[in-house]
Amino acid sequence: MVVVAVDTNALMMPVELDVRVFDELDRLFGTADLVTPRAVLDELEKLAAGSNGEEGVAASVGSDLATRHCRVVDTEASYADDAIVELATQGECDCVVTNDRPLQDRLLERGVRVVGVRGRNTLAVTEP
């Protein structure tokens, strides 16, 4: 089974970009083990509490989606992006869902497959 790590902005995509992330992951991988670092949940909670408007709503929805669809894992890193890189480089996931360009670059440089938005509201895999 493919293990897919889900980043903060991926969990916010349903509100911010109208992307049905979990339907798209089903289309790409079928059954997958979805994981997210605890640092991602912490970041979503901070964004939801400290932000009004669309970003706050997106973070709140993202937090709910993460707790319903993802297995939350602990990492050494407390910063969400570093936690994602840690999971990927330690071989704890096969690919990462993110639309964060600097994070995508860090992952691709380390040989990790990245899933990101292609077109208006679909996801595609980028190979390193």
Residue pLDDT, tens place only, 109-127: 999 999 999 988 899 999 9
pLDDT at 53 over 90: no
In percent, how much of the chain has pLDDT > 70? Answer: 100
Q: Give the pLDDT band (50/70/90) at residue 51.
A: confident
Architecture of domain 2-126: 3-Layer(aba) Sandwich (3.40)
pLDDT value of position 63: 95
User: The pTM is what?
Assistant: 0.94
Q: Which residue has the tokens 């669809």?
A: 69
What is the rounded average pLDDT for all residues in the chain? 94
What order do you get walking across the sheet with 32-37 strand by strand? 71-73, 32-37, 2-6, 95-97, 113-118, 122-126
Q: Give the pLDDT band (50/70/90) at residue 29.
A: very high
Q: How much is the average pLDDT of 3-9?
A: 96
